[in-house]
């Protein structure tokens, strides 16, 4: 019943749902036909019961088929790909999808459209991507994603990193990964040492819930941090998974103790088949406002929305300005208390003009 990938314990059948006697097998089979199921033995072992926050992240749900308003490609990645698998959205950086394999299929994934028809990174596509980056000297930052780059054979990943390091105008390399959280056994001392040969290289790890921080994931993060690799985290705000200030505060503060700097708290993308995970914009603003000054400032990530149509990320910030007078600004503290802050008249005028532009 289980399909197991050597050394990874990958599970791609619905046997993992057997602990849920109320599951509608026929309905879930239709979900999986459209959006394939994939998890692994390690992550499966972290699930305590049907419907818990980790269960919801990886288990198929019939509601995935009832979302007609969502977009197949909400960030217009395909339209912004000058060569297949390489997205050039911002002038100075590119997103390069170098792997089509994941340790998990997160049911809220922006790239669900690719699960049933992946585009593997062939030698030809690899050469096309490298050629594009070489021919565009404004690109100084390359983010490797997928799939998950840390599921590539380490020698293949090293080849990609080495080729990029030989391009003079590429200054920064980044890797987006869920492996240290979702399949930490893949992170070895040898892998960390190899990655460290390509500094400056940054890793952003996808953690969504405090229960994903285990002895194994701590060890994986320590190996990477000890190799001098700056670590950040990206968290997606998910209904009935982590849309709670206490849960996220615990997650972010714990990550900081692991030398993983919380980087983004991301509003759910408008991806088809994910509406049941989506929270109102106001919920993220409320959570960030509650966390500010209650946990370390270094542990509070940016709350961002990735705009549909490939228009890029914009920050969402709780408004602490109550009023702008002629010579003062009234702020609201994190405890809700008003504070009158003196400013020059021309400064107040400039603030009113800037904030007026923002409101428009």
Is there a binding annotation on residue 221?
no
Mean pLDDT across the chain, nearest whole number? 92
Task: Give per-residue pLDDT as tens, 179-230.
Answer: 999 999 999 999 999 999 999 999 999 999 999 999 999 999 999 999 999 9
pLDDT at 83: 97
* Token reading at 91: 């002038």
pLDDT at 317: 85
Which segments of the chain does DSSP mark as H helices, in order? 25-34, 41-44, 53-58, 123-134, 154-165, 179-182, 189-196, 215-226, 245-257, 281-291, 345-359
Task: Give per-residue pLDDT as tens, 141-174.
Answer: 999 999 999 999 999 999 999 999 999 999 999 9
Residue 81 is classified by DSSP as -
Is there a binding annotation on residue 181?
no
Q: Is the CB of residue 224 less than 8 Å from the CB of residue 231?
A: yes
Catalytic residue numbers read: 89-90, 93, 102, 106, 109, 111, 269, 306, 313
3-state class (DSSP) for residue 347: helix
pLDDT at 353: 85
Q: Is the CB of residue 218 less than 8 Å from the CB of residue 258?
A: yes
Comma-separated ranges of CATH 3.20.20.70 domains in the chain: 86-316
Instruction: Specify the CATH number for 86-316; select among 2.60.120.1270, 3.40.630.10, 3.40.50.300, 3.20.20.70.
Output: 3.20.20.70
Confidence at 24, pLDDT banded by 50, 70, 90: low
Alpha-carbon gap, residue 182 to 207, rounded angstroms: 9
Determine how β-strand 93-97 pairs with β-strand 141-145: parallel
pTM for the whole structure: 0.90
Is there a binding annotation on residue 102?
yes
């Amino acid at each position: 019943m289980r399909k197991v990938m050597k050394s990874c314990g990958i599970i791609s059948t619905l046997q993992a749902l057997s602990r849920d006697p109320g599951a509608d097998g026929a309905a879930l089979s239709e979900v999986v036909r459209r959006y394939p199921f994939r998890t692994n033995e390690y992550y499966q072992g972290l699930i305590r019961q049907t419907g818990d926050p980790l269960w919801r992240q990886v288990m198929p749900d019939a509601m995935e088929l009832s979302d007609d308003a969502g977009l197949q490609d909400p960030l217009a990645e395909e339209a912004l790909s000058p060569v297949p698998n390489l997205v050039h959205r911002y002038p100075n950086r590119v997103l390069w999808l170098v792997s089509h394999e994941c340790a998990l299929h997160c049911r809220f994934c922006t790239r669900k459209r690719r699960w049933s028809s992946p585009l593997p990174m062939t030698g030809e596509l690899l050469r096309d991507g490298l050629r594009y980056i070489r021919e565009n000297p404004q690109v100084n930052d390359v983010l490797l994603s997928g799939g998950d780059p840390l599921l590539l054979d380490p020698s293949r990943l090293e080849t990609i990193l080495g080729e990029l390091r030989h391009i003079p105008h590429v200054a920064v390399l980044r890797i987006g990964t869920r492996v240290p959280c979702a399949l930490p056994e893949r992170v070895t001392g040898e892998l960390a040492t190899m990655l460290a040969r390509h500094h400056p290289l940054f890793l952003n790890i996808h953690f969504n819930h405090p229960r994903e921080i285990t002895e194994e994931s701590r060890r994986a993060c320590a190996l990477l941090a000890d190799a001098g690799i700056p670590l950040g985290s990206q968290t997606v705000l998910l209904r009935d998974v982590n849309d709670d200030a206490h849960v996220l505060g615990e997650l972010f503060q714990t990550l900081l103790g692991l030398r993983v700097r919380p980087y983004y708290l991301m509003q759910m993308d408008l991806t088809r088949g994910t509406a049941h995970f989506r929270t109102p914009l106001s919920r993220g603003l409320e959570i960030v406002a509650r966390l500010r000054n209650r946990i370390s400032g270094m542990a509070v990530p940016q709350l961002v929305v990735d705009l549909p149509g490939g228009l890029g990320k914009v920050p969402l910030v709780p408004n602490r300005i109550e009023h702008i007078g002629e010579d003062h600004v009234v702020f609201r503290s994190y405890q809700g208390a008003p504070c009158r802050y003196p400013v020059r008249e021309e400064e107040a005028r400039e603030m009113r003009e800037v904030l007026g532009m923002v409101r428009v």
